[in-house]
Amino acid sequence: MKITSISTVVVNAIHRNWVFVKVQTDQPGLHGWGEATLEWKTRAVLGAVEDLAQFVIGADPRRIEHIFSKMTKFSFWPLGSIGMTAVSAIDQALWDIKAKDLGVPAWQLLGGQVREKVRVYTHMRRARIGAQVGTADIGAFCDAVQETVEMGYNAVKLGFVPYSGYEAPLPDLLHVEKLAQAVRERVGPDVAIMTDFHGRPASPEVAKAYIDVIAPISPLFVEEPIQPGNAIAMADLARRVNCPLATGERLFTPREFAELAEHRAVAHIQPDLSHCGGLTGGRKIAAIAEAGQMGIAPHNPMGPVAGAVALHFDAATPNFVIQEEAVGLVPWFDEIFSHPMRLVQGYWEIPDGLGFGVEINEAAAARHPFKPEIVPALEALLPDGTIANW
């Protein structure tokens, strides 16, 4: 069997362009899908996929580790977020092809099923464009959270913390404290709450100030309390707060996750399987986390291929905790994609279809072509005009 071509399909989803990668083989009807969505870097990722094609076309798609090595080692330069996103999507498509060729769900190739269902969480109102509520009106914010839970979720991730620099003003701290307590009172103790700082605090001290006022509501974790990449600072922060921490969506290599494990810097890691090397990279990272006694809560606010890949990974990963999902992000989600994500009482069911069980209606996808995305990060300014971390 040989790979004959690699093509891409771009679908505009307002805040991001979903980038899907299709790997075609010389076997009639046998192809695989991967997802290379990287917010606001669409054209760069498309170029990286094209650059990597020379290492892949003509190879046997079932030699996944071999092809992964060709893409990463022959590239010579460190691939970074753009290159690793392209690698990840191609890698995912190879797993899809191999599972289809063997006539099994992809999770069978990852060691087999280790759980009966996969716990998931979503964002406020499933992160639907135009449906978000700011933090200023606490009552309206809590109404939206309650509405989200009533969609069938028992876990939700929220943004409590404002754009921050090297200071946590007392009025902001008091408001975040009141907001967090109001959300907990509204949803009760049976709903898991997570909060994403997005690395907004510019120092561990600012992060600690906000974590201290949120910790009493017992969040499942606080995500990216500081910018990623400094495992020592994260570990120091973890030892000074009474709350589990998580990070990893902006880390790409096993070495970076090994540093977190070495310092036991967080309770949970959050690799994104569309950025960290696909399933080939994700499996190595999960093993590192398990050795470091850390849970794994994969990042995924993207399209259906990334969701399906994560579902199969979660079904076969022993130290999995909870999965981020974005099914229904746009109203025409199910018009373009057939996918295996089925929500039942806060969990996804384990799929039994071949490969990832996802297919894209390319004709329908063409109705939503590439457009320059809306970039909400442009709003990230402090009161004096300083650019903040989004």
Q: What is the pLDDT of residues 280-301, one digit of tens each?
A: 999 999 999 999 999 999 999 9
Mean pLDDT for all residues in the chain: 96
**275 catalytic per annotation:** no
Query: Which pTM does this prediction carry?
Result: 0.96
Q: What is the pLDDT of residues 235-275, one digit of tens each?
A: 999 999 999 999 999 999 999 999 999 999 999 999 999 99
- 21 band by pLDDT with thresholds 50, 70 and 90: very high
- 132 band by pLDDT with thresholds 50, 70 and 90: confident
Q: Average of pLDDT values for 35-44?
A: 96
Q: Pick 108-354's CATH classification: 3.40.50.880, 3.10.20.30, 3.20.20.120, 3.30.70.580.
A: 3.20.20.120
Listed in order, strand segments (DSSP E) in 182-310 are 192-196, 221-223, 245-247, 268-269, 295-296
Catalytic residue among 31, 123, 198, 339: 198
**pLDDT tops 90 at residue 184:** yes
pLDDT computed for residue 15 by the predictor? 80
Catalytic residue among 263, 275, 299, 368: 299
Q: Average of pLDDT values for 297-313?
A: 96
3-state SS, the chain, equals CCEEEEEEEEEECCCCEEEEEEEEECCCCCEEEEECCCCCCHHHHHHHHHHHHHHHCCCCCCCHHHHHHHHHHCCCCCCHHHHHHHHHHHHHHHHHHHHHHHCCEHHHHCCCCCCCEEEEEEEHHHHCCCCCCCCCCHHHHHHHHHHHHCCCCCEEEECCCCCCCCCCCHHHHHHHHHHHHHHHHHHCCCCEEEEECCCCCCCHHHHHHHHHHHHHHCCCEEECCCCCCCHHHHHHHHCCCCCCEEECCCCCCHHHHHHHHHHCCCCEECCCCCCCCHHHHHHHHHHHHHHCCCEECCCCCCCHHHHHHHHHHHHCCCCECCEECCCCCCCCHHHHEECCCCEECCEEECCCCCECCCEECHHHHCCCCCCCCCCHHHHCECCCCCECCC
Range(s) within the chain of domains with CATH label 3.30.390.10: 3-105
**Does 3-105 carry CATH code 3.30.390.10?**
yes
pLDDT computed for residue 110 by the predictor? 98
- Among 268-272, 275-279, 378-382, name the one with the lowest average pLDDT: 378-382
Q: Average of pLDDT values for 4-20?
A: 94
**198 catalytic per annotation:** yes
Range(s) within the chain of domains with CATH label 3.20.20.120: 108-354
Q: What is the pLDDT of residues 188-241, one digit of tens each?
A: 999 999 999 999 999 999 999 999 999 999 999 999 999 999 999 999 999 999
**pLDDT tops 90 at residue 373:** no
- Among 37-46, 180-189, 218-227, 323-332, name the one with the lowest average pLDDT: 323-332
Q: Average of pLDDT values for 23-44?
A: 97
- 375 band by pLDDT with thresholds 50, 70 and 90: confident
